[in-house]
Amino acid sequence: MSIIRVLNEDVSNRIAAGEVIERPASIVKELLENSLDAGATRVHVLIERGGQSLVQVLDNGHGMDKEDALLCLEAHATSKIRDTSDIENIHTMGFRGEALPSIASVCKFTLRTCYKDDTEGTEIRVDGGHIKNVAAIGTAKGTSIACRNLFYNMPARRKFLRTMKTEESHIHEMVLMLALGHPTVGFELSFDGRNVINVQPDQDRRTRTGMLLGRETVKEMLEIDHEENN
């Protein structure tokens, strides 16, 4: 009798999620990178209870139509590469098509999106990796993804989350790094309704750094520009 078996989709998705999603900050990173790849000029991150109750990212990027919204929840579905030659020439922050299905498999997940040329948007509700509802909605151009009750179906993983303040610290550091690296994009971060980062778009790098790290810090910094292979 064979002792090797093929894992069902639910189990394999949860294993994959464990590799991609270590903590709420991992979700923030993946969702913000998607927003930046989608051409967003403003992103807003809302966190409740250190991310255990809610991680939500809203952006004004180009959004998705219904077909792409459904496809993005399938493993290895991506708009960023077409064949092996593209792998050697990646210009986006994400490309594997693993993040969204992994995230959706370990939380109660709601995707709302509207493609820039469409008059109607799409809402998809997913519970533990299983699509529960797909509906046409009226919504602003761009994408909103809300992840509630993180690891509700993986109690062992949920048990390893740190205190709310520790998880908030990891999220703050992640948003701070991305905001420093993208001064033309506006970033807002809220913890339980309390605004902790709020920077406007279209800033130069020095202004952005001063707003996030302090003007005195900027005075002590040396600006270096480097470009390689265009």
Displacement of CA 150 from its chain's centroid (Å): 14
pLDDT value at residue 5: 74
Q: CA 33, CA 102: separation in Å to the nearest integer?
A: 15
Q: Write the pLDDT tens digit of every residue in 122-169.
A: 999 999 999 999 999 999 999 999 999 999 999 988 999 999 999 999
Q: What is the pTM of this model?
A: 0.86
Q: Which of 194, 140, 178 is nearest to 186 (CA)?
A: 178
Please name each of the domains of the chain with its CATH number.
9-204 (3.30.565.10)
> What distances in angstroms separate CA 92 from CA 34, 80, 123, 173, 202, one per listed residue?
9, 7, 25, 21, 20
CB 20 within 8 A of CB 30: yes
Averaged pLDDT score across all residues of the chain: 89
Q: CA quadruple 218, 219, 222, 227: dihedral positive or negative?
A: positive
